[in-house]
Structure 1
Amino acid sequence: MAALDIVTVPVNGGIGLEDSAVAASAGGDTAPVGPGRLLYVMNGDAAPHTATVATPGTVAGLPLPEVVVVVPAGESAIVPLTTVFRGVNGRASITYDAVTAVSVAVFELER
């Protein structure tokens, strides 16, 4: 799995989401979690693709469901990376059904 870095979005200016994204890794990616952090998934393929964020925790002994986001062809999606996604390594684990023309980034608003 590749480790995604945080892209800080300045409060006094914008940032190109697509320009900051990198190719999704075939083996999946990991990302830092926390307040104000967002996973951006852009699907530049002609077919829809699915991104899955693991939720390793439990509530009352029951596993939490994974977050599954289907991104239509040519569109993008944003998933808040809250601490519920924190794995044993302190990061979220993200997998994809395919990575053809899929790019991703982790954004956080400058503090």
Structure 2
Amino acid sequence: MADLALTVVPVAAGIADVAAQAVAAAGGGDTAPVGPGRFLYVNNADASSKTVTIATPGTVSGLAIADVAVVVAAGKHAIIPLTNIFRGATGRAAITYSAVTAVTVKPFELGT
């Protein structure tokens, strides 16, 4: 898994081009920092839809919390919240993809 670097988007100073900073999704999956105001940008430039799955390692009353799966349609993008519920043993979210052809990703945080 590749560790994705976080980009801070300054809310008061303008708009950051998160799409331009996106990198190719790794075939073995990626990890990203989690926390308040953090999100994963996903761009699917392929001709078929892709499913992005984020592991949810926690439990409630001993029952596993289901992983989150987001389908990104062909030619579309998604913004997925990276809340603390996705924090794994490394302190990061574990992200996998149904396929990585023409998929780029970038975690970002809304700054002050």
Identify the residue that residue 85 of structure 1 maps to in structure 2. Answer: 86
Q: Distance in 1 between matches of 2:10 and 2:21?
A: 13
1:1-111 alignment to 2 at 5 Å?
A: 1-11=1-11, 12-111=13-112
TM-score, normalised relative to structure 1: 0.97
For residue 85 of structure 2, give the secondary structure of its aligned residue in structure 1: helix
Structure 1, unpaired ranges of 5+:
none
- Please provide the CA RMSD for this pair: 0.7
Cα deviation code 1:5-28 (max 9, x no counterpart): 111111211012310111000000
CA distance in 1, matches of 2:19, 2:40: 12
Moved more, 12-21 or 1-10: 12-21
Instruction: Give structure 1 regions of 4+ aligned residues with deviation exceeding 2 angstroms.
Output: none
SS across alignment from 1:50: strand
* Cα deviation, residue 91, structure 1: 0.4
**Structure 2: unaligned runs, 5 residues or longer:** none
Residue 69 of structure 1 and its aligned partner are, at CA, apart by 0.4
- Equivalent pairs: percent with the same residue? 60
TM-score by length of 2: 0.96
